[in-house]
Each structure stands twice: as C-alpha cells, then as structure tokens.
Amino acid sequence: MTDTATSRKVTFRATIPPKSAAIDVHGEAGARLVLDVSDSDLADFLPVVMLRNKVLRVTLEVQE
C-alpha cells in the first residue's frame, strides 16, 4: 500500500471469486469485476473507499 488515502496509488491483494457473477460483461454499459479481499489484507484495501467516484487506471498482476 502507498502511504495515505490521498495517495495516487493503492496496492492490495485480492482474488476473483469463483462465481459466475464475479466477471459480468453487459453490453453497452461495460463490465463489472468483483474482488474478494481477505481480512488479513483489509488494512491495505481501506484507502480504496476514498477513491469512490474517481476514474481509475487498473492494472492486474498475478502474485505468485
């Protein structure tokens, strides 16, 4: 995670759940992706709350 909720970058670990609704491509309206964040990674995720209604650039990287 980067320093504060006002930072330009937030990093956290997550998984795409194995349910059919986790990746939803819906025509002209775009798509939706659902991520699961474990309790042990929740502190890193919390700054995401401050990013609501912001346009984000998303990069997915597999962590081994």
Which run of H or E residues covers position 43? helix 42-45
pLDDT at 6: 56
CA nearest to 38, candidates 7, 12, 4: 12
pLDDT at 59: 94
Query: pLDDT tens digits, residue range 7-51?
Result: 689 999 999 999 989 999 988 889 999 999 999 999 999 999 999
Q: How many domains does the chain contain in total? A: 1
CA nearest to 35, candidates 51, 47, 18, 52: 18
Pair 7, 47: CB distance under 8 Å: yes
Which run of H or E residues covers position 44? helix 42-45
pTM: 0.76
Host domain of residue 22: 1-64
Q: What SS3 state is found at 50?
A: helix
